[in-house]
Amino acid sequence: MKERVTYILSRVLELMITLLLVSLLTFAAFSIIPGDTARTILGPSASPEQVEALREKMGLNDPLLFRYLSWLKGAFTGDFGNSTSFNQPVSSLIISRLPVTFGLSFLSLCLVLLISYPSAVISSRRPGRFWDQVFSVFGHVSFAIPPFVLSLISVFIASKLFGYFAVGKYASPSKDFGQYIYCLLLPSFCVAIPKIAMTFKFLRASILTEKSNDYVRTSKSRGLSDIKIMFRHILPNSNVSVITALSIVLSDLLGGSLIVEQVFNLPGLGRLLIQAIGRRDFPLLSGIVFYLAAMMVIVYFIADVLMNMCDPRLRKNRGDIL
């Protein structure tokens, strides 16, 4: 137990150091981009004196290190300053868009798990047979189609031809939760399809590898059925390698849904990010980029801890796991 706590604490320390480096790179990237934030806010007709007064008010004339420390304090306390284009706190703008992006990512992950696991189990039972070939062909095709292309096709088929899933009509979860889920179903399906193919391939390969191990033959000789062996032994051991794939999938879902949000006209972080780019809103841009980077770092951290806790090769001292 002590070793497990020590390992987790060491990973938390690495997480904090990684987030610190992410904040440094984010601030540096937006500090060297050409352009004057004060001039952007006031417009080209503002006098140099007005621009200089606003720069002084916003702290843009302070030393770079002082500005970074001030921005770092705000980043870890959730205060990224005010958006120059919306004239609102950056944190409140991001929080207001999180239900869309988080909901889309969560529904997509549910679809990935609900479809990839059964299809991988069925496909790996008889490799090379009919269902294995069907799922493999589906995996190759769906993995090759970008989410935004699939979104355009889905919009045309589901909305234009059949009249289902009205695009552009978003309902807040606090007002109508059922409509909220309904308007996210089709875009989450478009985001999930390539990820389903990726997870299916990882899981199928892992199951086939586990089936060739000696413990499977030993279990069969003891009279265990194929179903019990699959769910008691093979799948739990296969999850160790699949966790890595799922961490990649989840990080892609958190960032890869941005384009799909634009296609379906959803008020998520995707639209907010594009608006910030078009208006050169550097405080908002840096806040969104830091948020997305932090989410991906945290996802990989959780996946690393879970993988080390689930890996039977790391078991020590009567089943304790590092």
Chain-centroid distance of CA 280 in Å reads 25
Tokens read off for 246: 């799922």
Q: What is the pLDDT along the chain (322 residues), one digit of tens a residue?
A: 666 677 778 878 888 888 888 888 877 877 776 666 676 666 677 777 877 887 777 777 777 788 888 878 877 787 888 887 788 888 888 888 888 888 888 888 888 889 888 888 888 888 878 888 888 888 778 777 777 777 778 777 776 655 566 666 777 888 888 888 888 888 888 888 888 888 888 888 888 888 888 888 888 888 888 788 888 878 877 777 778 777 777 777 766 577 788 778 888 887 888 888 777 778 888 888 888 888 888 888 887 777 777 664 544 433 443 3
Q: What is the pLDDT of residue 322?
A: 39
- Cα 149 to Cα 14, 145, 251, 258: the distances in Å are 38, 7, 20, 14
Q: What is the pLDDT of residue 178?
A: 83
Nearest alpha carbon to residue 196 among 108, 83, 297: 108
| Cβ pair 255, 297 in contact under 8 A | no
- Cα 317 to Cα 145, 237, 312: the distances in Å are 48, 20, 12
pTM: 0.78
Nearest alpha carbon to residue 261 among 109, 123, 98, 142: 98
Q: What is the pLDDT of residue 222?
A: 82
Tell me, what DSSP letter sits at residue 33?
A: S
Residues 6+ apart with CB under 8 A from 213: none
Alpha-carbon gap, residue 183 to 149, rounded angstroms: 19
Q: What is the pLDDT of residue 316?
A: 47
Ordered domains of the chain (ranges, CATH): 97-281 (1.10.3720.10)
